[in-house]
Structures are given as C-alpha cells and as structure tokens.
Amino acid sequence: MSEDEPTVARAAAEFLRHCRAGKNLSRHTLRAYDIDLAEWSAFVGAETPVTACGRDEIRAFLDHLSEGRGLKASSVKRRVACLKAMFKWLEQEEWIGVTPFHRLDLRIKAPQRLPRALSEQEVRTLLAAPAARLGLGHTAAPGPDAAHALARRLDPREWSDFTALVALHTLYATGMRVGELCTVRDQDVDVETGTIPIFGKGSRERRVFVTEAGPCALLAAYRDAVRRLITGTDATPDPEAPFLRTPRGEPANPQYIRLLTRRMARAAGLDRRVTPHMLRHSTATHLLNRGLDLRYVQKLLGHHSISTTEVYTQVTDAHLKDALSRVTGE
C-alpha cells in the first residue's frame, strides 16, 4: 500500500467529519455512525486500504453481524445503511471508483413492528397528570388566563412539571421528534399563530402547528416564565436560546424530556412504559383515524417517503379489527 492510499480508518474518520460538519445530523445518529464504523474497521482491519474493500468483505461483515454476533435484522440493517452512506460519499469524493454497493443485492428482512401508540384516552390522562400536579385540576390544558396566572406564581419546585406540561402538549399537537423539540429556539415559536419551524432528519425544514387555544396559551405562558427564570424580569432573553429549559435555566435535552415523560406516565397511572416518540406515533394514528389525508400526515411528520407514513394505516386497521372483534364477540 502506498503512503497516500487511504485506509479504512482514515476513510471512516473523514466521513464522520463530513457528517458532523456538513450533514447536520443529530448527536444520536453521529454516535451510532461512530460505533458502526469502528466495528467495520475492526472487522476488516483499520490499516486495510479502503479500495480493497469490496462485495466479499461486505457480505462477510454481514455474516459476522448476523451469525457471529447474533444481531437482530434491524441492527444489521442499520450498520449496512451506515456503510452504504460512507461508500457513496467516498465515491462522490473520488476516493474510490465505484461503491461496492452498486447493484449489490442485500436483502435483510426485518420483522415489521407496528408503531406503539397511546389511545386518545391514554393521551388525555397523560396530559392531565402535570396539570393536576400544578393545581390546575384534571383538565389537560388550562385556558389562557389560568396558564399566565400559573407562569406568574410558579414555584421553582414546580418548574419540571410545567416543562412536562408544555413539552407533552407540543409533542402531541405537532408530532415532532423529541430531538427536534429540544432544538426549537425562543424566536422560532410564534405563539400568536402556533407555528414552529423545525429542521428534521436530513436537514429538511418543515413547519408544525399548535392549533388549539389551550396549548398555544401554554407556549406563551412558558415563554414568560422562562424570561423570569433567566433574567428575573420580563426582559426578552437571547432569541437564539432554546425554548425549553431545566429548573436551572439550562437547555432541556432529550434525556430530560424522556425522564419527565416517564414521570408523568407514572403519575397518570399508565401501566406501560411511555416515551416521547410514542406521542409522535399517537399523533399520526389519531389524525388518520379522524380522516386526515395521508399526505398531510406525511408532511406534518417530515417523512421523506410516503411508505414510511403508510405504516400508520396498518395501526388504524389493527384498531378497527379490535373494535370489530369486541362488537361481534369473536
């Protein structure tokens, strides 16, 4: 191998650098890419010329993952997708001639699992939990006067409950991912129209909407509360600052919102583990059940392909079958 010939390790490092700088990928995706490429490098050899990696090496790697390590098909597919993206980039950058994935027939069939969604009653119960803890009764969303009164008299010990109330309502109203929610800035939230522009996967921008008066009022009240939390007054904070905050005024991260979601699910008495992503699934399922066109749901969720959204039609079909079974007694 000549000194200038790129190695597997160097190719992986440069691709990861490109992903961090140019693709605006989430930290979760970057961490997964880093782990997957480290495993690939260890398998084929870090100092192996990247030009020596062909179809045979890829097939052997797949055998290693599925047979040697016993990984699930979904985990194998993730690693293949990462490798495929890297070799495509290497081809574009002319590090290699043609990607070894060109016309490579790899069929990894993973069992299709339907998205886990909450029922509409479970969602109402979940949303009512933080409201009840804040002394707002058992209503899911308070009116504008109650929301602003809460923001003015909020005890610091109640901050996490207030953040949970706003986060859960926003997740369910918009169907956004928890990672997207945590990147929303103060200036992004138009509390008058309930419009929030967000950047999703693949740096695709879309707009989501909070259309009900109660959740919109919560957004406005939370913004006021954040300003008093950060500045001690009603002064406007940095518009570039994140919208959701912890009790210390720090940006709320996905792990924090997941923790609040689990806490509220326990408070609501729900007997299963609830995650923020289940609210995204619930939004899609409930909108389709109410008759919203599939294309609108696709746009709301930011799916690149309509086939990704179509999985929710299977959820609604399953609900229909269960309902029919209860009626007919079969």
- pLDDT per residue over 180-229, tens digit each? 999 999 999 998 899 999 887 766 789 999 999 889 999 999 988 888 77
Output the pTM of the full model: 0.71
Q: Are residues 18 and 63 in the same domain?
A: yes
- List the catalytic residues: 177, 201, 277, 280, 303, 312
Q: How far is CA 233 from CA 141, 224, 225, in A?
A: 26, 9, 9
Distance CA 322, CA 207 (A): 34
Query: 33 is in which domain, residue-wise?
Result: 8-92
C-alpha neighbours within 13 Å on the C-beta side of residue 41: 18
Sign, CA dihedral 292-295-296-301, equals positive
pLDDT at residue 124, as a whole number: 94
Q: What number is the average pLDDT over the span 75-94?
A: 93
Residue 98 pLDDT > 80: yes
Q: Quick one: 190 and 268 in the same domain?
A: yes
Domain check: are 238 and 295 in the same one? Answer: yes
Task: Judge if 127 and 275 occupy the same domain.
Answer: yes
The mean predicted confidence, pLDDT, of the chain is: 87
Same structural domain, 35 and 83: yes
How would residue 85 be classed by pLDDT, with cut points 50, 70 and 90? very high
pLDDT at 169: 95
**One domain, residues 85 and 127:** no
Say how many C-beta atoms besides its own lie within 10 A of residue 49's C-beta: 16
Q: What is the CATH number of the domain that holds 42?
A: 1.10.150.130
Buried b (16+ CB within 10 A) or exposed e, 253-272: bbebbeebbebbbebbebee
Give pLDDT, residue 147.
83
> Six-digit token pair at 43?
């398998």
Count of all residues that appear for the chain in the document: 330
For the chain, what is the domain count? 2
Which amino acid is present at 223? Answer: R
Residues 284 and 149 in one domain: yes
Q: Which is nearest to 224 in space by CA: 250, 253, 245?
A: 245
Same structural domain, 126 and 41: no
The per-residue pLDDT for 48 is 95
